[in-house]
Chain A
Amino acid sequence: MKKLYAMIAGFLLFVIVVFGFDQYLDMQIMNNKGAVRNHRTYERFWSSETQKLVMDENTLPIFGSSELVSLEDYEENISSFLNSPDMNIVTIGGGYFQSLSHAMELGAISEEVESKKVALFLSPQWFEEMGVSKEAFPGRFGEENLLEFLANDRISDANKTYVLDRVLTLLEDSSIQRRRVERYKKAYENKISVDGIYMEVMHNYWKLRGKYSVCRQIDEMSQNVPEVDLKHMDFKEMLLVAEKQGKNNCTNNDFGIYDEYWDTYVEERYKAGEVKEKAEFYTDSIEYEDLRCFLQVAKELGIDVILVSIPVNEAWYIFQGMLCDKYYENIKMISKEYDNVVLVDMTKYADEKYFHKDVMHLGWKGWVRVNEALYKEFKKE
């Protein structure tokens, strides 16, 4: 009998240790808010608990994809940076993070978004016919976000069911993940069951694991996050700086593509010559439905969305025979369907040199324009 009590005591001690560990992780993250916000790794994107701990009333969460990665070079290019006393950002997403992932992430962190505003950077490349690729999705899927999303009472059943079914389709070839999500779906439909207990346990596991993964990365995070004064920023001046930076980095081509990228990816195709047949791209896609889901979810959560429509590098895309005007129209129309959406339409700069730094990602002038628009929209009442 005594040994049984001993083991029970031991287990209780274990529970206390885990609780203490959890508190320790929270403290670590909160002591490094700025650094964590600007640390762009999957572990941080996947840990909604972490994101919730590092946002404040001046935080604008930005959901996007590969263009966000370029924020690393802020030492060279101050225009791509948004960190000032009255506004800071937390970017969520990297390559192949699209509307579906962002809907889950939004649902997971919404209650801690004090500003009630988020930005969503839309890239045309998301809108392939089958939307986000089945090959890329499993490696970018964050279960914690899905579970928090499902636990958010303000989101409708319709949207939750939509997201679950989409995720299951995309996880078709990733059996271990898919089987877990199948259980989550069963648990969602039937909360009091073995699957319900399973989901609860897994949910808590992911939350702890998420914070632990981020804390392990704290040592490699940059502690020096430069601050700028956005209120008094002379954006016209910044555009001139950006123009100069663009010119310096793009010397071997006329498309405003930086040299290394031109050499590695573009030169061959350029030599193949211009594509005479032009066609509209990105007009038919499941991504539109995923986007609508994101916007609906935002509406249900009382969140205003600053929808940033990023164009392609028009000079290059036309050379490749790809037109996106219909796509730009589609996004404009969708933004009008929701009253909690403000469209920041960057498509008028599609042909501006140095707006992009390569064929699709925001570059020197692009970031200046986007930053200015974001600051303005964020500060608007």
Chain B
Amino acid sequence: MSFYDGLAFFIVLLLGCIPAIILGMMEKRIGNYTILFSIGIIFIIYRETPLELFYLLLYLFLEWHLIALYQYSLRRFGRNKEIFHHAVLFALLPLVMAKLSGFIGHHWFSFLGISYITFKVLQIIIESYDGIIEKNGFSQTVAFLIFFPTLSSGPIDRSRRFEQDFARRWERREYAELLQKGIWKILLGVLYKFVLSVIAYDILGRISGRYDPQYVILYAYVYGIYMFFDFAGYSLMAIGTSYIFGICTPDNFNKPFISRDMKEFWDRWHISLSHWFRDFLFSRFMTDAIRNKRFKNRLNVASMGFIVNMLVMGIWHGLTKDYLLYGLYHGVLLAVTEIYQKKKWYRRVKSKKWYQCISWFVTLNLVMFGFLIFSGKFLEIWAVLMKYL
């Protein structure tokens, strides 16, 4: 049994939601029950892979102490860059170990959800350094880190926003709204992930072996549609579930295929991820580069920033050529977007309907081509072409 996978999980989920719904309708705080059920379901799911359970618990133990120690050090020694860098390094260490040990055939520290939980820990540490967060309470932080709907691949929430909802006592009227929205999102998510994405995947299987141009184009589009329904569906189920538990996890997808340019696309696709990178990587890169005058002009900074940002995002997906190329591709596209949107002609045409149409169409195709890279198909075709020539 795994998260949102199989009838047995949904039965456990349904049973688990009942107390939450009762608490919510009775205008009581759901928080303590949330922690209890999260722990319970983690044991049920990770029980089948005891090593992963061990790593998860070890991770929580170490990272909680890291956070507590780091916040203590801030109070004691003030804002120290070296200590900050060390804290970030330690926070990243388990993830790096997990990813790298894969290359030598081991799975050190590897557990389901490590990629996402690392974002949460890093966010706490960075915002502590910035002075936005002062102290983290133990139970709230643990709840934030192990909140079960978003544990394995869920949208990446922010600790302060989460803790606000977590502490809140909802009025019945408010909770009924959350419950209704939550159930709706779960229903939609089930449709997306278990019906529509499977249909798309079937189509992919049938056109996979063909390298004629029309099939390759079709493959890119269908892969994009498959990715959308699979991931958006999963996110919807996770978000819907969190609503039922009184947490308004932010949306992860917002009609991405109507995007009119690449910047807008990343505001509509895997929103929690791109926003996280924007806030904690891109903006830091920008302030650092501008302050230290590393680049000739601001435009170059932004473009470089996008490339670095997206490249890291690509690496985060996995250390393979496909993901690196994907990251680089989007980085370059964003850099180019940044450049042309500063031009005079852009300012003239950007509100025109015909321009928006063209821009939408071009963006859509660039996005789908990006999925061709992400799927591995592009490099596969490239290899075949190289052999031919």
Contacts and interface: CB of A to CB of B under 8 A. Distances in A.
Direct A–B contact in complex, judged by CB atoms less than 8 Å apart: yes
B389 interface: no
A198 B11 CA distance: 7
Contacts of B183: 4, 7
B380 interface: no
A293 B184 CA distance: 49
Contacts of B12: 194
Contacts of A4: 176-177, 179-180, 183
Contact of B11 (A1, A7, A197): A197
Nearest to B44: A194
B8 A3 contact: no
B7 A1 contact: no
A202 B11 CA distance: 12
Nearest to A201: B7
Contact of B8 (A1, A7, A194): A194
A3 B187 CA distance: 14
Nearest to B176: A1
B180 A198 contact: no
A196 to B, nearest CB: 10
Interface in B177-202: 177, 179-180, 183-184
A183 B176 CA distance: 35
A7 B187 CA distance: 11
B22 to A, nearest CB: 14
Interface string B156-173: 000000000000000001
A4 B183 CA distance: 9
Contacts of A198: 7-8, 11
A13 to B, nearest CB: 14
A240 to B, nearest CB: 55
A195 B176 CA distance: 30
B104 interface: no
Contacts of A3: 177, 180
Interface string A181-220: 0010000000000110110011000000000000000000
Nearest to A10: B187
B15 interface: yes
Interface string A1-23: 10110010000000000000000
A7 B180 contact: yes
Contacts, number: 26
Contacts of A183: 8
Contacts of B173: 1
A7 B176 contact: no
A7 B7 contact: no
A7 B15 contact: no
Majority-rule SS of B interface residues: helix
Interface in A38-89: none
Interface string B192-214: 00000000000000000000000
Majority-rule SS of A interface residues: helix
A7 B182 CA distance: 11
Given A7-B184, A183-B8, A194 B176 contact: no
A198 B7 CA distance: 7
Nearest to B15: A194
Contacts of B176: 1, 4
A195 B8 contact: yes
Contacts of A202: 7
Interface in B1-46: 7-8, 11-12, 15
A4 B184 CA distance: 9
A194 B11 contact: yes
Interface in A213-236: none
Interface string B305-339: 00000000000000000000000000000000000
A260 B12 CA distance: 57
A313 B180 CA distance: 69
Nearest to B173: A1
Contacts of B179: 4
A176 to B, nearest CB: 10
Nearest to B180: A4
Contacts of A194: 8, 11-12, 15
B19 to A, nearest CB: 15
A192 to B, nearest CB: 12
A195 B7 CA distance: 10
A7 to B, nearest CB: 6
A194 to B, nearest CB: 5
B116 to A, nearest CB: 26
Contacts of B7: 198, 201-202
Contacts of A1: 173, 176-177
A201 B15 CA distance: 14
B199 to A, nearest CB: 18
A309 B245 CA distance: 64
A1 B25 CA distance: 11
Nearest to A195: B8
Interface string B214-234: 000000000000000000000
A194 B7 CA distance: 10
A147 to B, nearest CB: 14
Contacts of B15: 194
Contacts of B8: 183, 194-195, 198
Residue among A4, A195, A197, A201 with the most chain B CB within 10 A? A4
A7 B11 CA distance: 20
B148 to A, nearest CB: 16
A195 B177 CA distance: 32
Contacts of B11: 194, 197-198, 201
A270 B177 CA distance: 79
Interface in B86-109: none
Nearest to B181: A3
A183 B15 CA distance: 18
Nearest to A202: B7
Contacts of A195: 8
Contacts of A201: 7, 11
Contacts of B177: 1, 3-4
B137 to A, nearest CB: 33
In the A-B complex, list the 4 residue pairs whose CB atoms are closest, starting with the nearest. Answer: A4-B180, A1-B176, A3-B180, A197-B11
Given A1-B173, A1-B176, A3-B180, 11 more contacts: A1-B177, A4-B177, A4-B183, A7-B180, A7-B184, A194-B8, A194-B15, A195-B8, A197-B11, A198-B7, A198-B8
6 contacts: A3-B177, A3-B180, A4-B179, A7-B183, A194-B8, A194-B12
